[in-house]
Copies of this chain bind each other. A is one copy, B any other.
């Protein structure tokens, strides 16, 4: 199968689950060693989960499939440029390459906030729309110090 075949499947998922009223028009597949190991689609409105974007759903399924939290060696095909949440998830998952169809500007055109959130994430804390306040720093930091000393920790 070619890159176009995998993207065709991602687009098919976006259309199919949009028509089933599962959520917005977004689909994604994750491919490793030439095989699809996870498929996802937007299910924010049907599952009451604001994090249930196509890419997050596909990553979670792929990681279950290979029983690893590290998807190094895998590629993601997504019907739209990943939002900043999904792009960050792709980095955390160590995915090697991203293929996308629509852009964040196209998503903005149909009233999705991808572009706005990208802009917010890039701002310094004090300039963001959602206020952020640091409290209880010494107490929080003490747990990080314990983590540093923890002998049997699993790092990622």
Which of A's residues lie within 8 Å of B, judged by CB? 3-4, 7-8, 11, 14-15, 18, 21, 23-25, 44-45, 47-51, 56, 59-60, 63-64, 67-71, 79-81, 83-85, 87-103, 106-107, 109-111, 113, 116-118, 120-122, 125, 130-137, 139-141, 143-144, 146-148, 150, 152-156
- Residues of B within 8 Å of A56, CB to CB, are 51
Inter-chain contact A18/B51, CB cutoff 8 Å: no
Q: Given A8-B139, A59-B51, A122-B121, is A146 in contact with B25 using a C-beta cutoff of 8 Å?
A: yes
CA distance A43 to B120 in the complex (A): 27
Inter-chain contact B24/A156, CB cutoff 8 Å: yes
Min CB distance A99 to B, Å, is: 5
CA distance A72 to B20 in the complex (A): 26
* Most chain B beta carbons < 10 A, residue from A63, A64, A69: A69
Q: Copies of this chain, how many? A: 2
Q: Given A101-B135, A106-B141, A118-B121, is A68 in contact with B48 using a C-beta cutoff of 8 Å?
A: yes
CA distance A4 to B139 in the complex (A): 11
CA distance A47 to B67 in the complex (A): 9
- 20 residue pairs from A and B, CB less than 8 Å apart: A7-B139, A7-B140, A18-B150, A23-B154, A48-B69, A49-B60, A50-B71, A50-B89, A51-B89, A88-B88, A88-B121, A97-B130, A97-B132, A99-B132, A101-B140, A102-B137, A102-B144, A107-B144, A110-B144, A122-B122
